[in-house]
Structure 1
């Protein structure tokens, strides 16, 4: 266990949005000393080998995160999926790619649930790696291509003024294109699959009523949150790719997510080892950042503003974060020995970039069991500098976002680990 004390000066402010009046701190000197729980100490027993980690340590840590943070998935690992190919464009992206629009349904769960997947594949390439990610605003917003269906589901009107009564319109086509450099990804030889994160649970407190959790008992709903549903969605996308898309290398699937979807991506990567690489982009509190650091967003902020994201148990720690049996470095450790990339942004102080870096640094302890080098340094890099070996990290200049610079680092990282020249 390691005790940390804040040492760098910043600015302390108070959050008043939504009349919450929950204190916000940006001053490193005001962070109380804290001790991180040791993921390699399970029931008083020291885990010192990868065999012991996989048999005892990892299951115990995963169970704690499920019970206390993200929730317990109530469904069996094997789910029947009915697929409907709604559209194929053999000359997408100006003839550089093939696009497919596929709807996934889950008849054993509900006849009404549907996950709509947009897939871009490089032309004339076989056994390609694939990025799997959810989007915030509908598949049609990730590109200006006119054949992509506009989502009919509830959307957060706060994301763009083009939405009317929480419904997307043609005017919203391509509004998130800057976050989805499809042509650049395909040109590098990668496929990319995305789906709207609100397909299986709209992102508001009552969203469960029309989503996947509507089929659960109240007790099951309390034990599983929206982030769990979104992680589940990503795994069902992997199911589809492995079972149906022979052009994709099933051993080279990369989970990537930004912000709240970054949180869900980390949980998906923890639960589902088929993600060969896991990427967290500005995931912050409840994602890659250490919860025990009282700086920027806190557990209390999360559970107050977004009470539907996590399981009910997580609210116990609103004012008692030190009682959490885990912290986010242990979540990152659950990815071992798979490559992991964590990214921050200089102006994204709400997400605590330093806390994200420190979490990645602490995850090294688990990676060491596999004789893997994580970041390879204890020094936070300068902006726009990618570092690391099995664990990668960068802090990009700018705001809370995912941009071409970020994607380029993720592709470089995947090239290295997949040995792509």
Structure 2
């Protein structure tokens, strides 16, 4: 079978599994099993964390190690010394004259023929350095805005729904321009004084179980290695690594205040933004939109999507060590509230949608709530409430350093979500 045919077959298999496996899962709060959440301030040896220094020197490193070795896989440290940034395709009067638009090609190794990613960056036309939102996109930079000047991505794409002409033979067509614009309200952010940077996630690693023969993984293989070890990074780890490389570039851009960069993501890319923010403390604010299982939602609730479903349908997302917790979430030595806790004392925002039960909105809320003790250790307010009940829909909770909202609607990211993120960023990045 040719590599292209293998890509097609595997993608169709994953899509079929995705459609079929949403049935037979728990969506009933009364059927949530009894569970005990690990205390984020209790170390593996049973000792209690009572100071910020103990958190930083002992508890945070051991939690980070657990998530790396048992869930997302260990990520290679830092960038290649030869990494290069090439600025191209600059429009000084983008978005009706409000912004500067440019594309930055990042060559991860600096060697011709090795993988690259392209950052699409819109910056306000001001003299002051701007804070910035950074996130990955699903359909290519050209899909985030109808601007015909944005370069059409030529890398492998996931199949489009039947009858959708935006992707043909796993390649984007001109029909895909602007199809995801509702998820990227650049003008709204620019008007609020923020820059926005985005990258097609497939530039970093194709979202398909191809044995890790494409994307950035092979750049790190040792002699004789053909795939990551059981405790090494999957695709979520690779995408998170790519976000850090984008931040490396933003630190060099004279129009960006790199100390005020918010990393955000939706769905599987929300899982990615959380893991990126946990590992890279340079991100000043971390946002998870509808990230669900192995993202912001508590795993031990066994509600909606589960570890087994992820590992069966998307075996490339996590490390192979994660397989041991299929149908055994109760045995996990951590839960996702402790992933959120790794952001402390930086602000973090978690968002859910009323019709997105697959992502377990209540579990996402409870994870944000149970992160509070770590923020309190720093003298900060977490969510600012003790209530375990979901807040009313379309009413953002932004009292402290942890924000949350439950939006009316389906699994998506839209202008309402962005408005809340901008409000939260105004409080913490300005």
TM-score (norm 1): 0.92
1:175 aligns with 2:176: no
1:112 Cα shift?
A: 1.6
Bigger mean CA offset, 374-383 vs 260-269: 374-383
Q: Which residue number corresponds to residue 227 of structure 1?
A: 236
Where do 1:184-203 residues align within 5 Å?
184-203=188-207
1:213–1:221: 8 Å Cα contact kept in structure 2? no
Structure 2 counterpart SS, 1:208: coil
Where do 1:181-330 residues align within 5 Å?
181-206=185-210, 208-215=212-219, 216=221, 217-218=225-226, 220-222=228-230, 223-243=232-252, 245-330=253-338
Q: 1:156 to 1:390 in 2, by over 3 A?
A: same
1:70 aligns with 2:81: no
1:235 Cα shift?
A: 0.5
2:79–2:108: 8 Å Cα contact kept in structure 1? no
1:384 aligns with 2:398: no
Q: Deviations over 1:314-352 (max 9, x none)?
A: 111002111111110000000000000000000000000
Q: Which residue number corresponds to residue 411 of structure 2?
A: 400
1:74–1:220: 8 Å Cα contact kept in structure 2? no
Bigger mean CA offset, 228-237 vs 216-225: 216-225
Q: Which runs of 5+ in 2 are unaligned?
A: 1-15
**Separation in 1 of the partners of 2:81 and 2:362?**
39
1:50 aligns with 2:58: no
Q: Which residue number corresponds to residue 92 of structure 1?
A: 94
**Separation in 1 of the partners of 2:386 and 2:81?**
42
1:334 to 322, 337, 342: 342
**Separation in 2 of the partners of 1:110 and 1:307?**
30
Q: Which runs of 5+ in 1 are unaligned?
A: 1-14
Q: Which residue number corresponds to residue 121 of structure 1?
A: 123
**RMSD between aligned residues:** 1.8
Bigger mean CA offset, 281-290 vs 68-77: 68-77
2:132–2:256: 8 Å Cα contact kept in structure 1? yes
1:16–1:22: 8 Å Cα contact kept in structure 2? no
**Separation in 2 of the partners of 1:145 and 1:328?**
38
1:32 Cα shift?
A: 1.1
2:189–2:196: 8 Å Cα contact kept in structure 1? yes
1:343 aligns with 2:344: no
Q: Which residue number corresponds to residue 3 of structure 1?
A: none
Structure 2 counterpart SS, 1:88: strand
Q: 1:339 to 1:110 in 2, by over 3 A?
A: farther
2:139 to 123, 126, 137: 137
1:110 Cα shift?
A: 7.7
Structure 2 counterpart SS, 1:254: strand
The count of corresponding residues between Structure 1 and Structure 2 is 404
Structure 1 counterpart SS, 2:259: strand
